[in-house]
Structure 1
Amino acid sequence: MRQPHKHKTRGEKKNNALKEYKVEEDGTLLAYLYGLLCDKSKTTVKSYLSHRQVAVNDTPITQFDFPVHKGDIVVVNFEKGFSEFKHPRLRIVYEDQFLIVIDKGYGLLSMSTDRIKTKTAYRIISDYLKENDPGARLFILHRLDRDTSGLMMFAKNKEIQEQMQKAWNDMVIDRRYVAVVEGIPEPGEGQVSSWLKENAAFEVYSSDDKEGGEYALTRYKVLQNNKNFALVELQLATGRKNQIRVHMKDIGHSIIGDKKYGSKCNPIRRLALHASRLRFVHPITRRDMFFETPVPRDFRFIVK
């Protein structure tokens, strides 16, 4: 799959300066544009690319040799470049007309609570969509805890949300996290399973009794360690509330910064949990969508 660019944006689709084209065969973007815009000089066509006036599947592209495939939608704005989304708390990793994948910063709520309504990833992305289309709506597909950073996605319509949530375990192929835990798990690779329940204080805990609980399975692998901490990769076989945090506590290696679930230290002043990988089947195109973000720098530093 083509790697997404760092900054994703949307075109103003109701602008008369925009023209939309459907790619008929595989090739590179510049060659496609030369053939498409044969009434324009090559210098002009190149300037459309360099000034962010060309988008492929709703994503502005400036790369001349960017691969295009049959069925892709190319939009050219003949008047001005597409605006660029920038926010200090999150970045857009991928966007098309159906889905948005973001990299959320730690300390930012995924969606609103009774106390906090506006400072959420949901509101930030929703406001961004409404800038170009006041009728745009956004739908939650899954959540990350407030202090967990990393990849999460939203749907742009109710039908996509219902389709993906109904077949979540079939469509979401791989979800992985990285965490820094206290001590070094032994063995260095394994799995943890339990029935998760929640008490009156909203604390999730493991139980051997499945009555009233939800089955949870987490696979883990130590990637790097020193004498005090270990960098661990975690793969979710199920997606339960606080699952990773509870399971790391269960094996005696709480995630650093996670006071709620047994951590005794916080050397990097945050919960050391990051959603690093997301792979799923696109609900419309059926393409294999794969996204990965680097391990946060302070995670690497603390286990040196």
Structure 2
Amino acid sequence: MKYNVEHAMPLMEFLLNKTQKKRNDIKKLLKFENIYVDGHIESYYAYPLQIGQVVEIQAKKGNQLLFSILYEDKELIVIDKPCGLLSEQTAGESEKTAYNIVKQYLKKNKENIYMVHRLDQYTSGILMFVKSKKLYDLLTHDWNHYVKIRGYIAIVEGKMKKSKGTIENYLTESKTQNVYITTKEKGKKAITHYKQIQTNKYYSMLEVYLDTGRKNQIRVHLSSLHHPIIGDDKYGAKTNPIKRLGLHAHELMFIHPITHKEMRFTSQTPESFQKLFKKG
């Protein structure tokens, strides 16, 4: 969690205002060296902050967290999920999941946690949980009404014939958990918008935005254009140059159902994605 300093004040006062945490909880963060000011550890509660500085709350090495926290307040927690980590438990894994790790992280403050959306195990990026049952009910009841932007960065095989476009069809899932395109009568509508932002001889980097959030939607849609996502052998990829699925959730924006405030979160494109397009 990063916070920009807009007014000069002592560190403790700043953290109380920004995080809505209790004074004792902030003292523990300072004691265990979880507070950084402009990149250095700061444990003095009265440290005088200046305008323009950046304060960050960060888990130390050895902490149970396997990811960065992009944002947290009394109602939300937004993480940067790494590739390979499950969003929630499966039949084969219940402990090492984003949901369980965040639940344990919040346990000390006796806070609840609710999952409002998911990312595939091998998709990295923005994953949001809520701490309020009321907020959970409102968001999940009308997710598409409140969520305005769901953006991804995808690396696909080959050069795109069209630099931008929209894919709209119907998807369903087989008994073997493969998602495929079907008829209107048998499937659920799925709409994906894409725009090419970088390309070379072998790969293209796309910015992708969703109007719907079907399982494996981006993977199936891009594969249907004969440009599967790199590392996605399930949907036809032949290459895996970065040893992971080339899909990253980089932007999420929604209108808070209670406060009506616009909430927008971003995550940097992984360096391994960028390296594919560096010359030399």
Whether the aligned pair in 2 keeps the contact of 1:108 and 1:147 (CA below 8 Å) is yes
- Does structure 1 residue 115 correspond to structure 2 residue 81? no
Whether the aligned pair in 1 keeps the contact of 2:242 and 2:272 (CA below 8 Å) is yes
RMSD: 2.3
Over 3 Å counting, the alpha-carbon distance change for 1:201 and 1:55 in structure 2 is same
Match of 1:54 among 7, 10, 15: 15
Q: In the alignment, what sits opposite 1:144?
A: 119
For residue 54 of structure 1, give the secondary structure of its aligned residue in structure 2: helix
Cα deviation digits, residues 249-285 of structure 1 (max 9, x gap):
0000000000000000111100010000010112332
For residue 16 of structure 2, give the secondary structure of its aligned residue in structure 1: strand
Give the Å deviation of 1:88: 5.6
TM-score calculated relative to the size of structure 1 = 0.76
Rg bigger for which structure? 1
Q: In the alignment, what sits opposite 2:172?
A: 197
State the distance in 1 between where 2:265 and 2:26 align. 32
Q: In the alignment, what sits opposite 2:261?
A: 287
Unpaired runs of at least 5, structure 1: 7-26, 32-45, 60-72
Amino acid at match of 1:160: L
Whether the aligned pair in 2 keeps the contact of 1:148 and 1:272 (CA below 8 Å) is yes
Amino acid at match of 1:54: L
For residue 140 of structure 2, give the secondary structure of its aligned residue in structure 1: helix
Give the Å deviation of 1:47: 5.6
Q: In the alignment, what sits opposite 1:64?
A: none
Q: In the alignment, what sits opposite 1:40?
A: none
Give the Å deviation of 1:167: 1.7
Q: In the alignment, what sits opposite 1:82?
A: 29
State the distance in 1 between where 2:247 and 2:26 align. 44
Amino acid at match of 1:80: K
1:1-304 to 2 correspondence within 5 Å? 5=2, 28-30=6-8, 46=10, 48=12, 54-57=15-18, 59=19, 76-77=23-24, 80-82=27-29, 84=34, 86=59, 89-133=66-110, 136-207=111-182, 209-304=183-278
Give the Å deviation of 1:29: 4.5
For residue 56 of structure 1, give the secondary structure of its aligned residue in structure 2: helix
Give the Å deviation of 1:75: 5.6
Over 3 Å counting, the alpha-carbon distance change for 1:265 and 1:159 in structure 2 is same
Whether the aligned pair in 2 keeps the contact of 1:54 and 1:75 (CA below 8 Å) is no
Whether the aligned pair in 2 keeps the contact of 1:182 and 1:255 (CA below 8 Å) is yes
Give the Å deviation of 1:247: 0.2
Amino acid at match of 2:169: S
Whether the aligned pair in 2 keeps the contact of 1:54 and 1:77 (CA below 8 Å) is no
State the distance in 2 between where 1:93 and 1:47 align. 20
Which 4+ runs in 1 deviate beyond 2 A? 27-31, 46-49, 53-57, 73-89
State the distance in 2 between where 1:78 and 1:189 align. 48
Whether the aligned pair in 2 keeps the contact of 1:56 and 1:75 (CA below 8 Å) is no
Whether the aligned pair in 2 keeps the contact of 1:55 and 1:74 (CA below 8 Å) is yes
State the distance in 2 between where 1:302 and 1:242 align. 24
Give the Å deviation of 1:289: 0.8
Cα deviation digits, residues 41-95 of structure 1 (max 9, x gap):
xxxxx3636xxx73334x2xxxxxxxxxxxxx68655982536452563111111
Unpaired runs of at least 5, structure 2: 35-57
TM-score calculated relative to the size of structure 2 = 0.82
Whether the aligned pair in 2 keeps the contact of 1:141 and 1:165 (CA below 8 Å) is yes
Alignment coverage as a number of residue pairs: 248
Whether the aligned pair in 1 keeps the contact of 2:148 and 2:253 (CA below 8 Å) is yes
